[in-house]
Amino acid sequence: MALAEARYYAQHQALVNHLLANVPNRPGAGDSSQPVSAWLQALFSDTLPDSLGLRIDTLERHTKTPLLEIRANGSVDPTRALRTEVSPLDHHWILTTVPSPKGLEEVARAASQTVWLAGFALSVFAASLALLLNRRLHLQELHIRGLEQREIGADHQIANFQVEKSILRQALNDSEQRSRDLVALSGAVIWELDENGRIGFVSTQIAELLDRAPADLVGQPLEELVAPAFQDNFRRALAAARSDSSIERIDLPLLHRDQEAEVPVVLRVRALKDPVHGLSGFRISTLQRMTH
C-alpha cells in the first residue's frame, strides 16, 4: 500500500507541475470561466491518469462550482485527497486530486503479488539450497563414517597382526630354545659346512670335546680335524650324502688340540640343498664314541 501512496503523491505533483508549465502567456487568459475551463479541460484530458480524479477550484469568488472536474464528482474524501494551491497568471486556484479506490487497490494488489512472488521464489531457492547442502552434508557424513569404520577395521587388523607376530616370535624363540636344550642334553657337537667343506658354524660343545674354541675353527676345513688315515672315508661320506640326499653315518677319530690324542666319534652327515642353487653345504652332528 505504501508503494501505491507514493505513486499517488508523485502523480499529484506531476499534475501540478504540468499545470504550471503550460500556463498561457496572456495575462487575461483566465478572466472568463468558460475559456479557462475549456483550456484546463484540454490540458488535462489526455494527461490525467485513469486512476485519479481531478478538481480545480478558484479562491477568487465564493462559489462551489469548480473550474474543472474530471472523475471527482460529489464530495471529496479529505483523507485521500491531495490539495495544492497554485497561482498561474495571478489567479489563486486549488488543485485537488482524488485517487480512485479501485486504482489504489489494483496497485496495492499488483505490489502485493510482486512481493508474494518474490518471497515465494526466494523461499523456493532457499529451500532448494538448504536441501542441496543437507544432501552434501549427509553424503560427507556417510563418507566420514565409512572412513572411520575402515580405520577401526584396520586398527583391529593391525592389532591382530601384532598378536600373531608376538605369538610367532614366541613360538620361534621357544623352538630355538628347545633346539638348544636338545643339543645340550644330547651332548652332540653340531657343525655347519659350506659346499667346500669349510666350517661356518660349530656349537660350543666342541670346547669340551676337542679343547678348541668355536671361533678358531670357523673357515677351517673340517677334514683337517680328521685323523689322516680316515680323511678319505670322510670325503666319501660327504659325497654319498650329496648324491643320495640321505643321512650318512661314519665312525672316525678327530684330532685333539694337542694333535697327539685322537677322540673317537660318530659323525652323521646330511647334505643341505637349495632348490635354486643346488648344494649349499652340510650339517653334521658329532657324538663321542665310547671305546671298550
Q: Show the cell assigned to 138.
A: 549427509
Euclidean distance between CA atoms 254 and 197, whole angstroms: 15
**68: nearest Cα among 89, 47, 28:** 47
- Amino acid at site 117: L
Q: Are 56 and 93 in contact (CB under 8 A)?
A: yes
pLDDT at 224: 92
pLDDT over 80 (residue 255): yes
* 3-state DSSP helix/strand/coil % of the chain, to nearest 5: 50, 25, 25
**53: nearest Cα among 101, 7, 19:** 101
pLDDT in tens, 128-152: 999 999 999 999 999 999 999 999 9
User: What residues are paired with 54 via a beta bridge?
Assistant: 70, 97
Helices (H), the chain: 2-21, 33-44, 101-186, 206-210, 214-217, 231-244
pLDDT at 101: 63
Q: What is the mean pLDDT of residues 266-285?
A: 89
Q: Show the cell assigned to 190.
A: 653340531
- Sequence length of the chain is 292
Q: Show the cell assigned to 244.
A: 643320495
Euclidean distance between CA atoms 249 and 237, whole angstroms: 8
Backbone angles phi, psi at 28, to 5 degrees: -95, 20
- Amino acid at site 33: S
pLDDT in tens, 75-125: 566 677 888 889 887 788 999 998 876 666 676 787 788 899 999 999 999
pLDDT bucket at 26, cuts 50 / 70 / 90? low
Give the neighbor-by-neighbor strand order of the sheet with 82-86. 68-70, 52-58, 93-99, 82-86
